[in-house]
Structure 1
Amino acid sequence: MFSPTSLEDLSLLRETVELECKLAQGQHGQGEVPKDFWPTYSAMANTHGGVVLLGVREKEGVFSIAGIPNPAKVRADLFNNLNNPGKVSTNLLTDADVQELVVGVKTVLRVDIPQATRQQKPVFLNGQPLGHTYRRLNEGDRLCDGDTVKRMLAEQLEDSHDVRILEGLGLDDLDRDSLRAYRNAFAVHRPGHPWVGLDDLAFLRMLGGWREDKTLGRAGLTAAGLLMFGRWPALPDAFPLYFVDYQEQSGKPDSPTRWLDRVVPDGSWSGNLYDFFRRVIQRLTADLKVPFVLRDGARIDDTPVHQAVREALVNCLIHADYTDRASVLVVKSPAGFSFRNPGMMRLPVAQALHGGASDFRNRTLHQMFLLINLGERAGSGLPKIRSGWEQQGHGLRVVRQCRAF
């Protein structure tokens, strides 16, 4: 992140999604927290964090140091407002997040705004989330619509989206071929496991696909059970915006063919996540090179690249918000692979890439894949993808909800 230490540094300065400059001179020129700081604070906190430089003038894209004559007063006013719930819902800053930078003979305040946690979002102004919650887009602070705010509030309260019991749905809404295929995979990976001999209903209970709520006195299929093993039209009945999409693209912009191959719920197959995974993973890995490697006399066909692609697909499915307008989209092209899932990332990108922490949107789906040796525990998924992919000399980008390879 840019931090000015000399007048020459200003030639490098550009406002971006994570950097904002504000004059902050105040009515009498002694410095004050400007009114437009607060939408930026909300926007950065609700997006990916960022830096605000107070005391920097911008005119037609050219920056100059105006300075803050009384930085102590501005700093005090900043923290007074941050700790006023009528002004802002959450104070994310500590003393270390507000630094005085001396540039020439003038002082600039650098304010580092961290990304809020899922439990802290939405960060809003004036005691009212609707109409006073912002997100950062490009270099601007954009007011969130009501649906976005409500989604943040739901994410704040709901640890796992897939445990709720679905009213009016039962075993008849499952695709039995999908469930049978999963059970076969489970038996292969866990021979002799006590769940292997259970009937379908008991097996689903153990997986979390069927749940009893004794408090409310009801039982039924869970969201995870339907998403993993459901069939059409039960899936869109329960999740009206549900859509999964795989495209193999030619990579030629002038090609009359939009895609070479595509997998979408078209009535010829169940449309559920387990079947989507089985169909798509074969297509994603079909052209990957497999070097001749022997281990204990047997050839090893599962390379780090295969593992990275497989892990990326599982991650895409288990972290998706299936109530969101966007679809799951997996694209294969000569340029690489991209995986997009709907829903805001629950962890900051840097923390997700580092590993060691996890916050699953669909904890039961994650466990279902894990039981057949797909997926990783304890926040190790993205680091494993990154390691396996970069070991082979490839690049990786994580763009908000979209993971691209």
Structure 2
Amino acid sequence: MNGEGISTEFKQARSSLPGNVFETVCAFLNRIGGDLVLGVKNDARVVGVDPDRISQISKDLVNLSNNPNKLDPPFMLFPEEFIIEGKKIIYIRVPQSSQVHKSCNFIFDRNEEGDFKVRTSEAISRLYQRKSAYFTENKIYPYLEFSDFNARVFTKVRNLIQSHRPDHPWLTISDVEMLKSAGLYKKDFETGKQGYTLAAALLFAKDEVLRQIVPAYKTDALLRREDLDHYDDRREIRTNLIDAYDELMQFIRAHLPDKFYLEGDIRVDLREKIFREVIANILIHREFTNAFPARLIIYRDRLITENANNPVGSGPIDPDNFNPHPKNPAIVKFFQQLGRAEELGSGIRNIRTYLPLYTKKSKFELLEQDNFKTILHFDLKHVTETSVKTSVKTSVKIIDLLLQDRMITIPEIAQKLDKTTRTIELALAKLKKEGRVKRIGPDKGGYWKVV
């Protein structure tokens, strides 16, 4: 195990959380993120965490990370337990945040020597300026009101969170409180301006409101297999990021074949596994104030995505040796709560792992430049073509309806899709057999869960 540094911190935590743990969390959030390991001494010697206390320590860390007295604004942490040298340790990946955080009313920053308090007004001002300049998702719109948000999207978000993490604390608070907890309502302590942010608008605003805030924002999805000069199919998407994700996934399902893979006893949908990462990347890791539209183009032998970018380097990215940098940490964090984005770096590794299983002839390229580009090369002859069938299209629509309303009934689905109830029953039976949906509870009073 390597030693401590600007992005690595070890702490002993035999039976309880260290008293200064949130100073380090705060410093990581304010600087470039980092890895926090509990159960290891400063010299990298593993001493472990008491096995009888490790669950409670992890629970305390999660609960306190949502407590503004410990961390303001709150930031949800997700500790993981590992065994090293026969001893249990707790690992927490803390990302770089788009906000300035405090712990016990003090702002902390970090250098190679460790955490330190930011005391002078000049240093605090520089930190706010650095965050604001780089993360444009933080721009405050004082006249953006809660009534400008789409109520249906809040219902959809809660259903997604329920399916992903039934015990998530956001499920017990109001929509307004959820926006604040997610860092989507901010106050600029230099100007006194406060309100909902650009990130809040991108996630929840009504379409007509979003067009006023970011007029150039759109995502083009194109199919170019026969007509290479124009397109065989096109979808222009100008809606919020939550719905845009679903529309792009529908486009993928309509034009790329499905394939399943047994990973142990678990049936993995390779198309979903690969392309959900691709789509999440072009939606949440883009520079929204740039007029360049995001693009997803499907050819016979490759898929290309492009999105406006604030580059931190230039040229090809090596998936085996790279340091991920969040472009919009608040939006990324929100997508992670929905189960629609992995931890930074994990998504790229998933694509690299599963693409060769999806198609034998595969190649994966990432290019860091002003317009970030992803290229997936494939040979669709080696993929079982089932996705273009009507039954799959019906299944896609059913899943979309379940995500919007987990309490929806079979007759209601049949009415919305203009199908017979028997057709919907058969489609749901197939989805349950494939492990894509579950019925929780009885027919009356239960609900649907999308896996």
- State the distance in 1 between where 2:174 and 2:192 align: 23
Query: Does 1:395 pair with 2:363?
Result: yes
Provide closer, same or farther for how the CA distance between residues 157 and 292 of structure 1 changes in structure 2, counting only shifts above 3 A: closer
Deviation at 1:230, TM superposition (A): 1.4
Query: Does 1:346 pair with 2:317?
Result: no
- The answer on whether the counterparts of 1:355 and 1:379 sit within 8 Å (CA) in structure 2 is no
Provide closer, same or farther for how the CA distance between residues 223 and 333 of structure 1 changes in structure 2, counting only shifts above 3 A: same
Structure 2, unaligned runs of 5 or more = 1-128, 377-451
- State the distance in 1 between where 2:344 and 2:246 align: 24
- State the distance in 1 between where 2:346 and 2:264 align: 25
Choose the corresponding residue for 1:259, options 226, 232, 252: 232
Provide closer, same or farther for how the CA distance between residues 218 and 191 of structure 1 changes in structure 2, counting only shifts above 3 A: same
- State the distance in 2 between where 1:232 and 1:284 align: 23
Query: Does 1:166 pair with 2:137?
Result: no
Provide closer, same or farther for how the CA distance between residues 295 and 385 of structure 1 changes in structure 2, counting only shifts above 3 A: closer
Query: Does 1:202 pair with 2:168?
Result: no
- The answer on whether the counterparts of 1:322 and 1:342 sit within 8 Å (CA) in structure 2 is yes
**Secondary structure of the residue that 2:138 maps to in structure 1?**
coil
Choose the corresponding residue for 2:251, options 273, 283, 295: 283
Deviation at 1:316, TM superposition (A): 1.2
Query: Does 1:363 pair with 2:329?
Result: yes
Provide closer, same or farther for how the CA distance between residues 355 and 276 of structure 1 changes in structure 2, counting only shifts above 3 A: farther
Provide closer, same or farther for how the CA distance between residues 247 and 364 of structure 1 changes in structure 2, counting only shifts above 3 A: same
**Secondary structure of the residue that 1:341 maps to in structure 2?**
strand
TM-score, scaled to structure 1? 0.54
The 5 A counterparts of 1:99-178 are: 158-178=133-153
Query: Does 1:330 pair with 2:330?
Result: no
Paired residues, what number?
A: 242
- State the distance in 1 between where 2:261 and 2:330 align: 37
Partner of 1:188: 163
Partner of 1:55: none
**What one-letter code is carried by the residue in structure 1 that aligns with 2:374?**
R
Deviation at 1:171, TM superposition (A): 1.1
Provide closer, same or farther for how the CA distance between residues 377 and 293 of structure 1 changes in structure 2, counting only shifts above 3 A: closer
TM-score, scaled to structure 2? 0.49
Structure 1, residues 59-94: CA drift from partner, whole Å, max 9, x if none? xxxxxxxxxxxxxxxxxxxxxxxxxxxxxxxxxxxx
Provide closer, same or farther for how the CA distance between residues 347 and 374 of structure 1 changes in structure 2, counting only shifts above 3 A: farther
Deviation at 1:318, TM superposition (A): 1.5
Deviation at 1:364, TM superposition (A): 0.6
Provide closer, same or farther for how the CA distance between residues 307 and 292 of structure 1 changes in structure 2, counting only shifts above 3 A: closer
**Secondary structure of the residue that 2:260 maps to in structure 1?**
coil
Larger radius of gyration: 1
- The answer on whether the counterparts of 2:184 and 2:200 sit within 8 Å (CA) in structure 1 is yes
Partner of 1:242: 217
Partner of 1:67: none
Partner of 1:83: none
Partner of 2:194: 219
**What one-letter code is carried by the residue in structure 1 that aligns with 2:305?**
F
- State the distance in 2 between where 1:398 and 1:192 align: 36
Choose the corresponding residue for 2:207, options 232, 237, 240: 232
- The answer on whether the counterparts of 2:280 and 2:341 sit within 8 Å (CA) in structure 1 is yes
Superposition CA RMSD, Å? 2.7
Structure number having the greater helix percentage: 2
Partner of 1:300: 267
- The answer on whether the counterparts of 1:243 and 1:264 sit within 8 Å (CA) in structure 2 is yes
- State the distance in 2 between where 1:230 and 1:238 align: 10
- State the distance in 2 between where 1:157 and 1:167 align: 16
Deviation at 1:215, TM superposition (A): 5.3
Q: In terms of mean alpha carbon deviation, does 357-366 or 389-398 score higher? A: 389-398
Structure 1, unaligned runs of 5 or more = 1-153, 266-270
Structure 1, residues 264-317: CA drift from partner, whole Å, max 9, x if none? 33xxxxx11111101111221343332363854xx62422x4322111111111
- State the distance in 2 between where 1:382 and 1:295 align: 22
**Secondary structure of the residue that 1:396 maps to in structure 2?**
strand
Partner of 1:127: none
The 5 A counterparts of 1:21-32 are: none
- State the distance in 2 between where 1:294 and 1:355 align: 25
